[in-house]
Amino acid sequence: MSKNDEVILLDFWASPFAMRVKIALAEKGIKFEAREEDIMAGKSELLLNSNPLHKKVPVLLHYGKPICESAIIVSYIDEVWPFPAMLPTCYYARAQARFWADFVDKKLFDGGCGIWRNNGDALELGKKEFIEILQVLEGALGGDFFGGDNFGFVDTIAIPHASWFYAYEQFGGFKVEDVCPKLSAWIKRCLKRDSVAKSLPDPSKVYEFLCMFRKMNGLD
Amino acid sequence: MAATASEVKLLGAWPSPFVLRSRIALNIKSVEYEFLEEKFGSKSDLLLKSNPVYKKIPVLLHRDRPVCESLIIVQYIDETWTSGPSILPWDPYDRAIARYWGAYIDDKFFPSLVGIAKAEGPEAKAEALEQAKAGLELIEKAFKDCSKGGEFFNGDQIGYLDIAFGCYVGWIRVTESMHGFKLFDEEKTPRLVAWSERFCAHEAVKDVMPETEKLIELLK
């Protein structure tokens, strides 16, 4: 496989799941075409045909063959273009990396929903649960990055969610820096990487986007 | 790499489909292990120490280092013991497809199976049953695509997706028996009907697959 293979990403600017794929491709130096789905106007034929079961972004099309589910796409990218490696070589460390990536997948986005989709007592409970999730995740930091010295698989899976933290902080009245200083430092470190900086949107735009959703659903 | 029984321990319980995944994978690789059965209704200190995040079985302990989450354990077993047959397909695209269906089976199919037991009243049960059957039709198609004419999801040998789905066969049969209807349907899912017999008769599966009658006894 070459870095000039035909690679298309079905994308949505605010999706942390799509951001994971953009970061992985950038880390590997793979050229790709990002096609923005307009989720408000309706999903494209290509998306509906490529991901008929879930009808969601991201979808990676590698010479037209669709791969769905962001963590699976990132694993695929790592396997097809092995350098630089995103997973460690030690099998035990790989299992730990997959475990924490899976934890992020199971907990982080839904945990955040507990804040931005709620008001009042439900929001307060959501905030408490979200902070607990962040604290568990912070405990897994192996060094500068989740794998230790090098940016890798878990960092790629987790860092996109940080683009939604400003919004959660505004709705919840807290700061990630206060409750998880180590995680906050890790976020700043990741944002210094080109692959991350160019794949993550401006957090204030995510905040505006979620404010619009809240208004639409009568929360504000 | 040969392992002595003391090097490899599996914390689990015989009825658990998730634990079964680990046992089948270890059998495929001919790895000897010590099975540490958790007592129903309580969690051992070893379990709580080995899986502090979820406190759940299965946990694989390899030289006292814990690996958690059933499909992550299967991948760890595949990577660590390379002298046996491969569990994951070798082609990255086929691996992505196997992982995708593994995730679907856990995230969508298994909850629909549980939904049948939880549904109250004949209407709710009928709806839950239709959902589970629809899931099985998708899995039937996945079998057709993935098996490439072979006897198993993984082709000529059992592999990741056979394990991911096959672990539920016992509980599918329990559901059929207790509710008096067929989930594996000769008309709609003929491939799965044939596959399930072959899977349960496989060397790596037959001695560890729980008997349907024993599972039904458990529920009484």
pLDDT, residue B60, reads: 98
pLDDT, residue A118, reads: 96
CA distance B108 to chain A (A): 11
Select the residue of A68, A73, A95 nearest B67 (Cβ to Cβ).
A95
What band does B219 get if pLDDT is binned at 50, 70 and 90? confident
Is the pLDDT confidence value at A100 over 60?
yes
pLDDT, residue B72, reads: 98
Q: Of A21-25, A155-159, B81-85, B93-97, where does mean pLDDT reach its minimum?
A: B81-85
What band does B5 get if pLDDT is binned at 50, 70 and 90? low
Encode pLDDT of A172-215 as tens digits: 999 999 999 999 999 999 999 999 999 999 999 999 999 999 99
Mean of pLDDT values over A53-62: 95
Nearest to B25 by CA among B70, B89, B91: B70
ipTM, two decimals: 0.95
Contact B69 A98 (CB under 8 A): yes
B80 neighbourhood in chain A, CB within 8 Å: 91
Is the pLDDT confidence value at B32 over 60?
yes
Contact B100 A72 (CB under 8 A): yes
Which residue type occupies B198? R
Chain B within 8 Å of A132 (Cβ-Cβ)? no
Encode pLDDT of A126-172 as tens digits: 999 999 999 999 999 989 999 899 999 999 999 999 999 999 999 99
CA distance B177 to chain A (A): 29
Tokens for A182, please give them: 């180590």
Whether B130 and B115 have beta carbons less than 8 Å apart is answered as no
CB half-sphere exposure, A66, CA atoms < 13 A: 18
pLDDT, residue A5, reads: 85
**Mean pLDDT rounded to a whole number for chain B:** 95
Select the residue of A62, A68, A102 nearest B69 (Cβ to Cβ).
A102
Chain B residues whose C-beta sits inside 8 Å of any chain A C-beta: 53, 62, 65, 67-69, 72-73, 75-76, 79-80, 92-93, 95-96, 99-100, 103-104, 138
The DSSP bridge pattern shows strands B8-12 and B34-37 to be parallel
Which has the higher per-residue pLDDT, B49 or B2? B49
Strands of A65-68's sheet, edge to edge? Answer: A33-36, A7-11, A59-62, A65-68
Mean of pLDDT values over B151-175: 97
Contact A75 B100 (CB under 8 A): no
**Ramachandran class of B3: left when φ > 0, alpha when ψ lies in -120 to 50, beta otherwise:** beta
Q: Of A18-22, B15-19, B37-41, where does mean pLDDT reach its minimum?
A: B37-41
Is the pLDDT confidence value at B1 over 70?
no
Q: What is the reported pTM?
A: 0.96
Is the pLDDT confidence value at B3 over 70?
no
Contact A75 B99 (CB under 8 A): yes
pLDDT, residue B67, reads: 98
Query: Count of A–B CB contacts within 8 Å?
Result: 52
Is the pLDDT confidence value at A71 over 90?
yes
